[in-house]
Each structure stands twice: as structure tokens, then as C-alpha cells.
């Protein structure tokens, strides 16, 4: 993007101010001409800026890959240099004309002293053969009996029993752990344990979103509301600038149809006397495909999912997008009460947000895999380096001993 002159950019708390900013880039100008009002152009410009910032953050991932590749190449060169040096030193010591072959020939050669002593000791009728006959009996009868695993009382029999006991114990332990894991998984699906955990996650994200703002978030999941005997509506966000209220319902269980979601949102809005309703699901796999990651109903209710499956971590960015959307809707309703709007344009915007979240989820999964791979490579390199150093140390010790 090009500008005719440099303007001061001020960053204060939660906003950026650019004084008399003018853009002459034809791509930007042509894009913004498609929007008729200043509000639409401002929203489009903000969205384009946010997408650009997100793309720049993702670019750091490729830099990490280049760093790992460069470190691996440097490590490979250093290792090859050290190996070449050791090979040269080994050749000098252990080559045909080296010190070690001469020493070995003296002791183990055809006329070597050690060879002659070994032949004498192990020859037929030698001291070693006679001692074996005494200890093991003729034809090794004693040793055969002692090593029979089926003969009770022998060392091998006791070893066999010990191994069998250990295998049975290990099998029982594995079965117990597998049963415990299955029980815990079922408990998390069928009781409120998992729900409580997800409510904590949602509460932490919402608290971060309103931090350093005039907005307030309150947990209301354990208090009755306007509807008789109902506690639906886990959180209420109050926009203190306008007095608008956004109700948030956190869900971590499956089986919800699109109709169920709309009814739950309607009840939450009425029960908490809210201006806008937001339902947050733990993962996209718990809800119908036609609802997906991001779906708005009747301009007053929104559904969002924070991950693809229950095995993935919740993505705070998805809730941040939904919160900003809900806040914009609530404030718009306060300012433009009774003003007509274009339902088709709103639905298109919702679909674009959903598509962006799908792309974001896919890229986040890939970057997480890349980071894990980079960490594994670093750990493997450290392990290889340690093994090589250990082997080199052993070789040096052997050489010094030979000297």
C-alpha cells in the first residue's frame, strides 16, 4: 500500500489513530468503491487490515522452518568435520603401519605369547577342560539339569515363574488403566464434568476480551432468570457505553439440531433480558454441518464452535470474532433501531466469516504440527550430538589405552 506522505500513527490502549491518512493504491481504492456508505467502507477497511496482520503472523511459521533447516545443516557439517578428523586419527593408529596392529601381532600373532597360553589352557587335557568336566559332569549333565525351566527348584524355573508373574501383573495393570480411561471418557460425555471445564474456558476467554474495556462479564449459570425455574444463559456481557446486554451460553455436549440451537438461544435471550444471544459449542463436530463454525439466526442470535473435534484445544480467536460480531450487532440495534437492513448482505457476511474461520482452523492445525516437528527435530539433533560425542570419547579412550 502506498501513500503520498507519512502520517503519524498513534497507538493508545485498544485503538489505532492515523491522522489524515490517504491511500492512492489503485487496488485499495477499487475495492472500497464497491461499498456505498462510510460505515461499510470502514468495516471493509478494518477487515482487510486484520486479515493482513493475521497473514504476517502466519509468515513467522515459514521462518521457523528455515531456521530448523539451517541449524540441521550446520550440525551436519560440524559432525562430518569431526568424523573426518577421527577417521584420520583412527587410520594413523589402527592402520597397517599403526601402533595397535603391531601390539596385537606381538600378543595374538602366530607366534604371540597370549595365543600360545590360550592354546595350552584350552587344549584337550588342559586345565580348563578338566575343570569343566569336574563342575558340569560328563557331557554337561549337571548344567543341563540346572538350566531346565520345567524342573522345579532350578534357577531357570524360578526365573520363568517370575517372568510369568510380571507379565500377568503388567496385563492386569494395562486392563485397569484402559478401563479407567474409558470410564473417565464416558463420565466426561455423560455428566457435567466436561461442561464445567468448558465453561471455565469460555469464562477465561470472555474475561480477556473485556479486560481494559468498559464492558463487564458476569457468570449467571447458577442463578434463575426471567423465565420461571430456568437458569439458561451462562454469562451476561454488559456494554456499559450503551447498556446493551449479550447473553452467552456454553455447550460441550453433542446431539443439538438447528432447531434446538435456535430454541436455546431464544430462551437464553428472554431469560437474561438480553439484546443479543451467543451460543458457544466446544467443537464443530457436535452440531449439524449446516450450522458449522459460525452461523447467525435472525440477526439477533449467533452460534460459534471453538474447535473441530473434542480432541483439539479451544481456539480463543473464534470466540473473539463472535464476540465482536455480537457487540457490533447489539450496538447497531441501539443506534439504528427501526432502520431497514439487507438480509442477503448480512447472510453473505456471515458466510464469509464462517469460511475464514474454517481456513484459520486448517492453518492453525498445520502450524501446530510444524512447531511440534521442529521441537522433535531439535530434540533428535541434541540426542544425535550426545551419542556422537560419547562414541568419540570412547574412541579416544581406546586410542590412549593403546598408546
Q: Are 381 and 75 in contact (CB under 8 A)?
A: yes
* CA pair distance 143, 130, nearest whole angstrom: 15
The string over 252-274, giving b where at least 16 C-beta atoms fall within 10 Å of a residue's C-beta and e elsewhere, is bbeebeeeebbebbbbbbbbbeb
Place of cell 487496488: 27
Distances (CA, A) of 350 to 207, 308, 321, 326, 347: 25, 19, 11, 12, 5
Q: What is the DSSP string of 315-367?
A: -HHHHHHHHHHHHHHHHHHHHSTT----HHHHHHHHHHHHHHHHHHHHHHHHH
DSSP readout, 244-275?
A: EEEEEEEE--S---HHHHHHHHHHHHHHTT-S
Q: So what's the pLDDT on residue 156?
A: 74
Per-position DSSP letters for 34-53, written without gaps between them: T--SHHHHHHHHHHHHHHHH
Nearest to 61 by CA among 361, 374, 306: 374
What pLDDT is stored for residue 207 in this prediction? Answer: 93
What pLDDT, on the 0 to 100 scale, is given for residue 178?
67
- Predicted confidence at residue 50, as pLDDT, reads 81
Residue 116 C-alpha cell reads as 600360545
Please give the model's pTM, rounded to 2 decimal places.
0.41
Q: What's the CA gap between 384 and 394, in Å, rounded?
A: 15
- pLDDT value of position 191: 39
Q: State how far Cα 316 lies from the chain centre.
A: 14
Largest CA-CA distance found in the chain, in angstroms, rounded: 116
Query: Does residue 276 sit in helix, strand or coil?
Result: strand
Neighbours of 108 (CB within 10 A): 13
Q: What is the pLDDT of residue 182?
A: 60
- Give me the residues of the chain with pLDDT under 50, please: 1-4, 188-195, 338-341, 343, 346
Amino acid at each position: 500500500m502506498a501513500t503520498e506522505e507519512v502520517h503519524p500513527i498513534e497507538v493508545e490502549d485498544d485503538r489505532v489513530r492515523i491522522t489524515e491518512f490517504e491511500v492512492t493504491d489503485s487496488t485499495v481504492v477499487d475495492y472500497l468503491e464497491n461499498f456505498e456508505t462510510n460505515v461499510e467502507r470502514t468495516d471493509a477497511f478494518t477487515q482487510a487490515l486484520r486479515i493482513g496482520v493475521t497473514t504476517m503472523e502466519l509468515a513467522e511459521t515459514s521462518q521457523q522452518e528455515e531456521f530448523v533447516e539451517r541449524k540441521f545443516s550446520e550440525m551436519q557439517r560440524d559432525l562430518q568435520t569431526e568424523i573426518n578428523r577421527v577417521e584420520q586419527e583412527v587410520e594413523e593408529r589402527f592402520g597397517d603401519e599403526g601402533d595397535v596392529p603391531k601390539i596385537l601381532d606381538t600378543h595374538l600373532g602366530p607366534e604371540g605369547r597370549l595365543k600360545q597360553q590360550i592354546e595350552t589352557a584350552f587344549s584337550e587335557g588342559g586345565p580348563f577342560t578338566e575343570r569343566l568336566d569336574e563342575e558340569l559332569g560328563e557331557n554337561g549333565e549337571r548344567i543341563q539339569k540346572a538350566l531346565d525351566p520345567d524342573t522345579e527348584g532350578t534357577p531357570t524355573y524360578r526365573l520363568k515363574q517370575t517372568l510369568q508373574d510380571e507379565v500377568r501383573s503388567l496385563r492386569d495393570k494395562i486392563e485397569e488403566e484402559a478401563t479407567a480411561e474409558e470410564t473417565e471418557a464416558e463420565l466426561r460425555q455423560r455428566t457435567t464434568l466436561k461442561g464445567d471445564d468448558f465453561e471455565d474456558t469460555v469464562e477465561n476467554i470472555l474475561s480477556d476480551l473485556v479486560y481494559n474495556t468498559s464492558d463487564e462479564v458476569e457468570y449467571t449459570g447458577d442463578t434463575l432468570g426471567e423465565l420461571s425455574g430456568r437458569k439458561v444463559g451462562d454469562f451476561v456481557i454488559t456494554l456499559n457505553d450503551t447498556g446493551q446486554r449479550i447473553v452467552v451460553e456454553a455447550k460441550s455436549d453433542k446431539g443439538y439440531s438447528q432447531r434446538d440451537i435456535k430454541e436455546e438461544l431464544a430462551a437464553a435471550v428472554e431469560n437474561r433480558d438480553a439484546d443479543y444471544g451467543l451460543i458457544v459449542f466446544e467443537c464443530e463436530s457436535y452440531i449439524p454441518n449446516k450450522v458449522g463454525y459460525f452461523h447467525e439466526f435472525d440477526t439477533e442470535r449467533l452460534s460459534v464452535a471453538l474447535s473441530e473435534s473434542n480432541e483439539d484445544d479451544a481456539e480463543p480467536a473464534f470466540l473473539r470474532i463472535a464476540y465482536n460480531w455480537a457487540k457490533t450487532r447489539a450496538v447497531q440495534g441501539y443506534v439504528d433501531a427501526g432502520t431497514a437492513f439487507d438480509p442477503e448482505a448480512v447472510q453473505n457476511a456471515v458466510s464469509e466469516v464462517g469460511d475464514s474461520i474454517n481456513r484459520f482452523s486448517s492453518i492453525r492445525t498445520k502450524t501446530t504440527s510444524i512447531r511440534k516437528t521442529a521441537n522433535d527435530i531439535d530434540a533428535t539433533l541434541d540426542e544425535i550430538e550426545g551419542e556422537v560425542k560419547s562414541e568419540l570419547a570412547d574412541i579416544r579412550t581406546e586410542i590412549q589405552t593403546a598408546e
